[in-house]
Amino acid sequence: MEHPVDVLEPLPAVPDSLPVQSAPIDEDAEYLRQFGYEQQLHRRLNLFSTFAAGFSYMSPTTGIFGLFALGLASVGGALIWVWPIAFLGQLLVALTFAEISTHYPLAGSVFQWTKYFSRSKAYAWFTGWIYLFAGVLTTAGVVATMPLVLTPFLDRLGIGIQLSDSLGTQQSIALITIVVYTLLNAVGVKVVALINNSAVVFEALGLLVSR
């Protein structure tokens, strides 16, 4: 027995640009009502905190110090030509996301965009879960590198903390890191922003003074 496909009702065509009027706030609110949403924006982060969130998520120092040596050892000096190619590719992705977000200025990122592009809730459902799993894998990949840095750092402090390089120790440090991150996010955005801002400042200073 065939079941009907859950397809969204077609929305009004998205204009290339919105007409300029004297009340842009009301115009934006009316535009969002076409998607069934009321205009709301709870801005809790300032400009630097927003920049710091993106900077720490990408963590350029991890890519430079962690992957640069690996690339040089693998392909040699030809690695330098990979950087402009990767830059152009990522720039195209960023421009695509920027264009889509101007037409669909909704919270939900790729979940919402897929829902309105495909007109199908099923595709949006799968996209949302895939994006969630991507975030989980990203977090796991980041915390997996913590023991590689934290273990020798604690050993060199000279305060009597000696950690082994065993797999069990690395897994314990990674698990503790996830628990700490989770608790900090549960406390609130302001606390996480303060810690993240400080971390970005020190990361940028470390990037400048490192040799």
Tell me if 68 is assigned to some domain: no
Tell me if 20 is assigned to some domain: no
Whose tokens are 């030509």? That residue is: 81
Tell me if 192 is assigned to some domain: yes
Tell me if 130 is assigned to some domain: yes
The pLDDT score that the predictor gives to residue 63 is: 65
**β partners of residue 7:** 120
Tell me if 198 is assigned to some domain: yes
Tell me if 153 is assigned to some domain: yes
79: left (phi over 0), alpha (psi -120 to 50) or beta: alpha
At 57, phi and psi to the nearest 5? -65, -45
Average pLDDT of the segment spanning 73-94: 87
Tell me if 83 is assigned to some domain: no
**β partners of residue 200:** none
For the chain, how many residues are written?
A: 211
Average pLDDT of the segment spanning 173-189: 85
Is the Cβ–Cβ distance between 207 and 64 less than 8 Å? yes
Structure-block tokens of residue 56: 């720490």
The residue range of the domain holding 181 is 108-211
Is the Cβ–Cβ distance between 200 and 52 less than 8 Å? yes
The pLDDT score that the predictor gives to residue 92 is: 95
**How many domains is the chain built from?**
1
| CA pair distance 171, 180, nearest whole angstrom | 14
Tell me if 173 is assigned to some domain: yes
Q: What is the pLDDT of residues 28-37, one digit of tens each?
A: 777 777 777 7
